[in-house]
């Protein structure tokens, strides 16, 4: 039985991805920050799929320490990792600084996944078909990369911060794929679609009205999880790496900031912010 780890598994696309993997007879572990929600999801997935090999690890992704504990907990309890789906993300109405002194959306959407992924590479190398899947967004096309403004230091906009982190997800994917090209580990990113979730539930005012008006035209979390599940399980992408997918097909990337130089700058900055510089 293959082992899968999904971040942000208690709602939206993450929850649907956990259920989809469970239905496919995976041993599924999901990261969660709320025990009550995690227990509920675990019960629901077991009941709906009949797969009892479902568990979770509690870890707050606004804490570098807890991300490290998450990785160590997985290593201690499971012999290998076949599928890592970096799914957790947020879009916040205002700039918030975590206890680690980092801007919250940057930390959750990128840095925590950067740390977790690097700490679990040895576990992935134990798999016969290891895959890393990073959930990005079509919003990356509007993203900008400014190494001196990674955390909105020069002025914060919710949608700018989100687009920038989604661009960073893809930069991370491309750079990691290059670094792992001889390891057997595939690394791909994806756009799940415009999904009806509680993703931006903290917003009010005009945005809340527009979001409600747009909801009937959004797809369900189940449909939003389709490309993640495809990348996790399909033999057609077994040897594909360093690509960006939407609707289970590769899509050409168009963003002027996706340069090799920028990717390497991001990697070094991430190492420093993650306290992973030797």
Residue 183: inside a domain: yes
Residue 132 is assigned to a structural domain of this protein: yes
Residue 278 belongs to some domain of the structure: no
pLDDT beneath 70, residues of the chain: 196-217
CA 154 distance to own-chain centroid: 26
- What residues make up the domain containing 185? 3-273
pLDDT recorded at residue 35: 98
Say what the pLDDT of residue 104 is: 98
Spatial distance between the Cα atoms of 88 and 221, rounded to a whole number of angstroms: 13
The number of distinct structural domains making up the chain is 1
CA angle 186, 191, 195 (to 5 degrees): 135
Q: What is the pTM of this model?
A: 0.93
Report whether 233 contacts 4 (CB < 8 A): no
* CB 123, CB 75: distance < 8 Å: yes
Angstrom distance (rounded) from CA 233 to CA 228: 9
CATH of the domain at 202: 3.40.50.720
Active-site residue among 26, 56, 156, 162? 162
> Per the domain annotation, does 128 fall within a domain?
yes
Flag whether 90 is in a domain. Answer: yes
Q: Could you give the CA distance from residue 239 to residue 250 in angstroms, rounded to a whole number?
A: 14
Please confirm, yes or no, whether 162 is among the known catalytic residues. Answer: yes
pLDDT in tens, 235-262: 999 999 999 999 999 999 999 999 999 9
Token pair for 103: 């801007």
In a domain, 62, yes or no: yes
Q: Is residue 238 part of a domain?
A: yes
With respect to residue 209, please indicate whether it lies within any of the assigned structural domains: yes
Q: What's the pLDDT tens digit per position in 129-181?
A: 999 999 999 999 999 999 999 999 999 999 999 999 999 999 999 999 999 99
Q: Where are the beta strands (DSSP E) in the chain?
A: 3-6, 27-32, 54-58, 83-86, 131-135, 186-191, 243-246, 249-250
The CA-atom distances, in angstroms, between 263 and each of 151, 173, 176, 193 are 16, 9, 9, 25
């Amino acid at each position: 039985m293959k082992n899968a780890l999904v971040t942000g598994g208690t709602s939206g696309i993450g929850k649907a991805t956990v259920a989809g993997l469970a239905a496919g007879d995976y041993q599924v572990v999901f990261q969660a920050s709320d025990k009550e929600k995690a227990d509920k999801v675990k019960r629901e997935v077991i009941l709906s799929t009949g797969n009892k090999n479902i568990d979770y690890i509690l870890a707050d992704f606004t804490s570098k320490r807890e991300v490290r504990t998450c990785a160590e907990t997985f290593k201690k309890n499971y012999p290998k990792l076949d599928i890592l789906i970096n799914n957790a993300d947020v879009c916040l109405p205002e700039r918030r600084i975590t206890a680690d002194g980092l801007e919250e959306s940057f930390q959750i959407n990128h840095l925590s996944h950067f740390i977790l992924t690097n700490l679990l590479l040895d576990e992935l190398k134990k798999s016969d078909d290891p895959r890393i899947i990073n959930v990005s967004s079509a919003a990356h096309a509007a993203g900008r990369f400014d190494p001196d403004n990674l955390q909105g230091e020069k002025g914060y906009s919710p949608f700018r911060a989100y687009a920038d982190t989604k661009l960073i997800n893809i930069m991370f994917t491309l750079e990691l794929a290059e670094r792992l090209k001889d390891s057997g580990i595939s690394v791909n990113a994806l756009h799940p679609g415009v999904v009806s979730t509680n993703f931006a539930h903290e917003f009010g005012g005009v945005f809340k009205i527009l979001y409600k008006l747009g909801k009937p035209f959004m797809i369900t979390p189940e449909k939003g999880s389709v490309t993640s599940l495809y990348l996790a399980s399909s033999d057609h992408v077994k040897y594909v790496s360093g690509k960006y997918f939407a609707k289970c097909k590769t899509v050409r990337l168009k963003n002027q900031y996706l340069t090799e130089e920028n990717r390497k700058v991001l990697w070094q900055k991430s190492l420093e912010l993650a306290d992973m510089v030797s």
